[in-house]
Amino acid sequence: MAEQIKKKTGNSIQKRETRWGLLFLSPWLLGFLIFTLLPTLASLAFSFTSYNPIQPDQIRFIGLDNYARLFTDPFFRQAMGVTVRFVLISIPFAIINPLALALLVNSPHLLGKNFYRAMFFLPSMIPLVVNVMVWRGIMNSESGWLNKALAYIGIQGPNWFQDEQWVIPGLTIMGIWGVGNAMIIMLAGLQNVPTELYDAAKVDGATGWQRFRHVTLPIISPIIFYQLVLALIGSFQYFTQAYIVSNGRGDPNGATMFYNLYLYRTAFNFLDMGYGATLAWVMFVIVLLITIFLFRTQQRWVYYAGGE
């Protein structure tokens, strides 16, 4: 009897706690429902229609026409090509740069480590738009100090943001400034490598490179994997910098027509919201598939000390 009463009391306390918990969570739940889930579902519905936001009363269900259009849309292919090219160029930088900086500021031989850590991190605190405006000045082919510095050593700097060949490398260089967050995460990973492993490797006669290759890299591989997934998603969603640099048009000559920029123009400039929603869902599926693929590959190269 006493046990039953105890059980009942326990249940009612649990229920009450659940109710209170849900009550406290309800602002977030409502927010998620209204501002994220419903618009997401609405965009899926729009992708099967000819929705034009200025003429909402003329919306028509068109089945899979928008999805079929992807196969004949040359701008879709162009935007995907620009984005993939950027992903291929920028992802190695997004992994190698912060790792190199983290190694540098973790080095016992570096004087003023904290100063450098703060300095490397600081640019990532600057709002993205300001960052782009500053770099537009730095990389201006006529008055930017980057080309002036190159000229000083006898190199004719390119026309960074007006040249089709140089604009993507230019954007990649611009992105180097914002590696602070990734560097801090890499640094945390490096500081978690057990020192006894290095000691053991030294005793075995391992060189610095061998210690890095066979001790550091495997131990921080979960961090690298995490950065890789984030960088991949970020690169596929690249928009703000391209929008500002290209005047929202993919200048020069479509070289910066990133997928998200094309999506934005389709939906908001050309008011083809149905097709815009289709582009958004296709991007979602592509990124999802690549992420799943990456997760599948992690068994081969990511080391989890405690197992997965």
The rounded distance, in Å, linking the Cα atoms of 114 and 74 is 50
* Shortest separation between residue 126's beta carbon and another protein, angstroms: 6
Summarize as ranges the residues that interact with another protein (CB under 8 A): 53-56, 114, 117-118, 121-122, 125-127, 130, 136-137, 140-144, 159, 161-164, 247, 249-254, 265, 268-271, 273
Nearer to another protein, 263 or 302 (CB): 263
User: Could you tell me the smallest distance in angstroms from the CB atom of residue 159 to another protein?
Assistant: 6
**Least distance between another protein and beta carbon 253 (Å):** 5
Q: How far is the CB of 291 from another protein (least distance, A)?
A: 30
Comparison of 235 and 266: residue with beta carbon closer to another protein: 266
Return the number of the residue (224 or 273) whose C-beta is nearest another protein: 273
- Hey, what amino acid is at 95? I
In the bound complex, what is the minimum distance in angstroms from residue 20's beta carbon to another protein?
34
The rounded distance, in Å, linking the Cα atoms of 285 and 238 is 16
Contacts of 67 (CB under 8 A, 6+ apart): 47, 278, 282
DSSP letters, the chain, are -HHHHHHHHHHHHHHHHHHHHHHHHHHHHHHHIIIIIHHHHHHHHHTTB---TTSGGG--B-TTHHHHHTTT-HHHHHHHHHHHHHHHHHHHHHHHHHHHHHHHHH-TT-TTHHHHHHHHHGGGGS-HHHHHHHHHHHT-TTT-HHHHHHHHTT-----TTT-TTTHHHHHHHHHHTT-HHHHHHHHHHHHTS-HHHHHHHHHTT--HHHHIIIIIHHHHHHHHHHHHHHHHHHHHT--HHHHHHTTTTTTTTTTT--HHHHHHIIIIIS--HHHHHHHHHHHHHHHHHHHHHHHHHHHHH---TT--
Question: 142 or 308: whose CB is closer to another protein?
Answer: 142
Q: How far is the CB of 41 from another protein (least distance, A)?
A: 17
CB of 114 to another protein, least distance (A): 5
Q: Which residue lies nearer to another protein by CB, 58 or 299?
A: 58
Between 140 and 172, name the residue whose CB sits nearer to another protein: 140
Q: Which is nearer to another protein, 162 or 298 (CB)?
A: 162
